[in-house]
Chains A and B, each alone.
Chain A
Amino acid sequence: MENKIYASFFSRLIAFIIDFLVLFIIGALVCLYLLSFSNSDNFVGNIILFIIYLLSVHIILAMVVNTYLISTFGGTIGKLISGIKVENEDGTNLTFKQAFFREYIAKMASSAFLGLGYFWLLKTPKKQTWHDMICSTVVVKKKSLILGLVTLLLFLVIKLYLCVHIATSLIGLSKSMNTSTFNETKYNIDISDNPIITTY
Chain B
Amino acid sequence: MKSNLGQIVKESYSITIKNKWLWVFGALLIAGAGFNFFSFSDSSGDSKKEYKNISNSVYDVPGFPMSEDDKSRLQNLDAFFSEVPENFEETVLDEKKLKSNQMLVQSLLAFTNVPKQYWWFLVLAFSTFTFLMVVLGLYIKSWASCALIKGIDAVSQGANIGLKEMSSLGRPYILELIKLNIFSTLLAVVPIGVSFILIIISFEVPGLTILLGLIGLVLFLASFVFMLLVFAGAVLGKVALTINGKKWKEAFIDGFNLAKAYIIDVIALGVVNCCFTVVLTCLSVIIIVPLLIVLVIGLFGAALIPPLIFVIAILGLLVFVAVVLLFTAAGAAFAVFKQSTWVLLYKQLINVRVNTEENANGK
> Is A136 in contact with B164, judged by CB distance below 8 angstroms?
yes
Q: In the complex, what residues of A have CB within 8 A of residue B85's CB?
A: 195
> Is B129 in contact with A106, judged by CB distance below 8 angstroms?
no
How would you classify the secondary structure of chain A's contact residues: helix, strand, loop or mixed? Answer: helix
- Measured CA separation A90–B125 after assembly (Å): 39
Q: Which of A109, A135, A178, A185 has the most C-beta atoms of chain B within 10 angstroms of its own C-beta? A: A109
- Measured CA separation A49–B115 after assembly (Å): 11
- Measured CA separation A186–B85 after assembly (Å): 28
> Is A191 in contact with B112, judged by CB distance below 8 angstroms?
no
Which of B8-16, B100-108, B237-245, B307-315 lies at the binding interface? B100-108
The verdict on A170 contacting B162 (CB below 8 Å), with A104-B136, A109-B25 known, is no
> Is A170 in contact with B125, judged by CB distance below 8 angstroms?
no
The verdict on A44 contacting B332 (CB below 8 Å), with A113-B27, A194-B105 known, is no
Shortest distance from the beta carbon of B327 to any chain A beta carbon, whole Å: 11
Closest to B101 in A: A196
> Is A56 in contact with B167, judged by CB distance below 8 angstroms?
no
Q: In the complex, what residues of A have CB within 8 A of residue B328's CB?
A: 112-114
What are the interface flags for B85-123 relative to A under an 8 Å C-beta threshold, 1 for contact and 0 otherwise? 111001100000011011001111111111111110110
The residues in A between 24 and 79 inclusive whose CB is less than 8 angstroms from any CB of B are 40-45, 48-49, 51-52, 55-56, 59-60
Residues on B lying within 8 angstroms of A by beta carbon are 24-25, 27-28, 31, 85-87, 90-91, 98-99, 101-102, 105-119, 121-122, 125-126, 128-129, 132, 136, 139-140, 143, 162-164, 167, 321, 324-325, 328-329, 332
Residues on A lying within 8 angstroms of B by beta carbon are 40-45, 48-49, 51-52, 55-56, 59-60, 104-106, 108-109, 112-114, 116-117, 130, 133-136, 170, 173-174, 177-178, 182, 185-186, 189, 191, 194-197, 199-200
Would you give 16 A-B contacts (Cβ < 8 Å), ordered by A? A48-B119, A55-B125, A105-B136, A105-B140, A109-B24, A109-B25, A109-B27, A112-B24, A112-B328, A113-B332, A135-B164, A170-B117, A196-B101, A197-B102, A199-B98, A200-B99
